Amino acid sequence: MAADRFFEFNTVPECKAFMEGVRYVNDSAVHTANAASTRSANPSHGRASPRHACSARNVRTISTSAGLTPIAATTPTALGSTHARRTTRRWDWNGHSLLLSVKDGDSVALQVVPLEFAAAGGRTGLTKAAGLRQRLQADVAREANGDVYLTQIPMVNQGPKGYCVPATFERALRTMGIESDMYLLAAIGGTRMGGGTSVEALMAAVRSEVYQRGRRTKDIPVKDLRIREVKRYLDDGIPVMWTMDSVDDYNHLADANTDVRRKTTDWQAYAASIAAAAETLRRKPKPETKHHLCMIVGYNEQTDELAVSDSWGPKFERRWVPTKVAAWASQGGLFLILP
């Protein structure tokens, strides 16, 4: 079970004040913290949130007087990745653990996770490769119009911080049964507010953890992105992380194509239409700004499209882009976590 509830604080006092000030109502009460929005008005631009804002999803909030059981007042621990050592304080309550962790005074995080996740140090049981491959292949959908796409990739919203690299890595790692968190990955990769993480550096940092879990990593440089470069992996249910330039022309076309697809019945006419639009866009100079990491999660050989997933929330779970447009926007890097 994933640790899917998360607060982030910028200072230790801020986090302690939250822990002391929040009030528990009843077992079924679910509250949302008054926090800066995790969504930017334009998700392709990582706006910096205010210094003392905390970003949160819906979580159960409780006070320290609500029957919490403290477990080890101050325990050095490696939660998840062996590279992300943090000093963690843990309280157990109602089948969950609250983990308040600090990394060398650099960052503070509060997670609400299942007891078994905390007891295992942030690690889940190792899934055998054969079982994982079977599950991944079962999650591949094939439609009558030629669409082939992955259906069970977890969505992680990077929020307004521009954390596209750690958020995308979290999605890939969790797909392979490796518990992960984008905030810890951001600390490992030295991600700055507003973005700025080397994909290669983060891949190198998590590689030993991936190997320890019986998985593998792979980097594939490509000059001209085509369906054949990613098809074999997608057919096996493996998402492909992709470096590209998320410029406005690309996003406008991706949004428009995806909207048109919902009403399309004549797929031959659709394929001809998007091919013409792709050729028009390809005549423009190749973009060199708004560097971004996202996922290729599907393809259609009949329409010559790729399905792309961005870490911006459910609306961006799967957008369809002509392959030639993807090649135009591509930076030429493909990265994979393999079973």
Do 109 and 146 fall into the same domain?
no
Instruction: Dig out the tokens for 17 from the structure.
Output: 């004040």
pLDDT for the residue 96: 82
Cα–Cα separations (whole angstroms), residue 34 to 57, 117, 182, 288: 10, 27, 21, 37
- Residue pair 196/189 in contact (Cβ under 8 Å)? The answer is no
**Is 261 inside any structural domain?**
yes
**Residue 124: what pLDDT?**
53
Query: Which residues does 174 contact at the CB level (< 8 Å), separation at least 6?
Result: 2, 154, 180
Tell me whether residue 125 is in a domain: no
Beta bridge partners of 307: 298, 320
Domain of 208, in residue numbers: 133-338
Give residue-wise pLDDT tens across range 29-69.
222 222 222 233 333 333 222 222 233 332 333 333 344 55
- 89 and 164, same domain (yes or no): no
Tens place of pLDDT for every residue, the chain, 339 residues?
Answer: 333 334 444 445 544 454 444 333 222 222 222 222 223 333 333 322 222 223 333 233 333 334 455 544 333 333 333 344 557 788 888 888 887 777 665 566 777 777 766 676 655 555 677 788 999 999 999 999 999 999 999 999 988 777 899 999 999 999 998 878 888 888 777 666 555 677 888 888 888 889 888 899 999 999 999 999 999 999 999 999 999 999 999 999 999 999 999 999 999 999 999 999 999 999 999 998 999 999 999 999 999 999 999 999 999 999 999 999 999 999 999 999 999
How many domains does the chain divide into? 2
Q: What is the CATH number of the domain that holds 181?
A: 3.90.70.10
Q: Alpha helix (H) ranges present in 22-163? A: 115-119, 129-138
Task: Give the pLDDT score at 121.
Answer: 63
Where are the alpha helices (H) located in the chain, listed in sequence order? 12-21, 115-119, 129-138, 164-175, 182-189, 199-212, 227-235, 248-261, 267-282, 323-329
pLDDT tens per residue, range 92-151: 888 888 877 776 655 667 777 777 666 766 555 556 777 889 999 999 999 999 999 999
Give the model's pLDDT for residue 97.
82
Distance CA 265, CA 284 (A): 30
Residue 184 and residue 97 share a domain: no
In this structure, the answer to whether residues 50 and 148 fall within a common structural domain is: no
pLDDT at 188: 76
Strand order in the sheet with 107-114: 5-9, 107-114, 96-103, 85-93, 69-78
Which residue among 59, 87, 119 closes a domain? 119
- State the pLDDT at residue 114: 72
Specify burial of residue 1 (Cβ count, 10 A radius: 0-12, 13-18, 19+).
Answer: exposed
Which H or E run includes 7?
strand 5-9
Q: Give pLDDT, residue 198.
A: 78
Is residue 152, in this structure, part of any structural domain at all? yes
pLDDT of 191: 67
212/333 same-domain check: yes
Residue 32: per-residue pLDDT: 26
The per-residue pLDDT for 102 is 73
71: enclosing H helix or E strand: strand 69-78
* Paired tokens of 286: 């190749």
- From 119, 149, 167, give the residue that closes a domain: 119
pLDDT at residue number 122: 56
- Examine residue 126 and state whether it is found in any structural domain, yes or no: no
